[in-house]
Structure 1
């Protein structure tokens, strides 16, 4: 009996340790459902398509147009710009609204930004429903002055402009500037954008 009691006393600590090594019983309660991640914040009224995404349709005042999918939207640089895009690595397009002055005044201003005798300018016009559209294509040495951060004359540049005349002294225009080597291959996308422009009637 003494031998049996001694054996029991010897085994007792081992049994206690074995019980401690057993995993804790798992709860039968179902795990809480995962909370979906919140969507990334976006800037109100500002759409950023992927670099090679689908075209984006924008409406600014009464003007609607479709920007090519490979135009990358950026935050507008100032309050006069309703929208702004990067084209390729080193060209840009912007939509300007609330522009005062006649179509002729603004077209002449664009031509004056091509500063050397090497410039070539072509302007065509067409009637849209509720507006007139002027299409400007210019090449040469470009100097945008303060509007381009006073970068000075930029040779071998291209200026593309689509000016929508909403009234005698009211315009919205889309203007692209950049190296000719960048914008010349993008002309098909630009022309498709120009052809997509539509203008709603003025409010009565």
Structure 2
């Protein structure tokens, strides 16, 4: 695998200043896994979002399955395994859900934000009652074949939660779009010690992976369980709005 360029190192250092987040694709089994190909399951409890963390130092290689790096977020990317990384167009908050191979609609109360991490394709904040910690929904997309397989990602996401009840998984077709879902709750531990955040109790995640003509789109809503419980219908309407966009 090709070593990082100086431009990639600079990007990594810059992102590191933003703060460390959980990256659900750092340990994905293959950045070139296809949407339909079954992926080997990965151990539960692997580290998730560690953002800035596009970040090995010069002279080291990216971990297996790491999303591509580039001079800009998703563009001008390095070679991955000898193959040019996909060119992933970025969206502005005004464009969320209206361009690209998949379209969606969000509840009116969801607040579209500029992504805080170059790995994020879109980002929303879901507010709660006054003084309540908000939830967040993040969209990831790494181009055709990018981000790893469906099964391994769903299992790894579920493995971030330690609760009394096991995670539940589902699969259905929405307006011609094949969608895979996961629902997990309990203590959320995404390996975020780098950001000074340890495990968080009483959390819940609603996740969905949509198969499109241009590869997988990954959607994850995470936040306090009480808030997610109250907003679950909104997430359901969001997923139910999925439809194919431009190819």
Flag whether TM exceeds 0.5 (same fold).
yes
| Higher RCO (CA-CA < 8 Å; seq separation 6+) | 2
With normalisation by structure 1, the TM-score equals: 0.65
Look at both structures and tell me which one has the larger radius of gyration over its CA atoms: 1
Other-structure match for 2:111: 72
| 1:102 has 2:149 as partner | yes
| 1:134 has 2:180 as partner | yes
Name which of 150, 159, 164 aligns with 1:118. 164
Structure 1 gap segments, 5+ residues each: 1-43, 48-55
Q: Give the distance between the partners of 2:194 and 2:230, measured in 1 at CA.
A: 22
Q: Comparing both structures, which one devotes a greater share of its residues to strand?
A: 1
Equivalent residues of 2:158, 2:184 under 8 A apart: yes
Aligned residues: 149
With normalisation by structure 2, the TM-score equals: 0.54
Q: Give the distance between the partners of 1:160 and 1:111, measured in 2 at CA.
A: 10
Q: CA deviation at 1:87?
A: 0.9
Q: Comparing both structures, which one devotes a greater share of its residues to helix?
A: 1
Q: CA deviation at 1:70?
A: 0.5
Q: Give the distance between the partners of 1:141 and 1:184, measured in 2 at CA.
A: 15
Other-structure match for 2:202: 156
Equivalent residues of 1:100, 1:170 under 8 A apart: no
User: SS of the counterpart of 2:187?
Assistant: strand
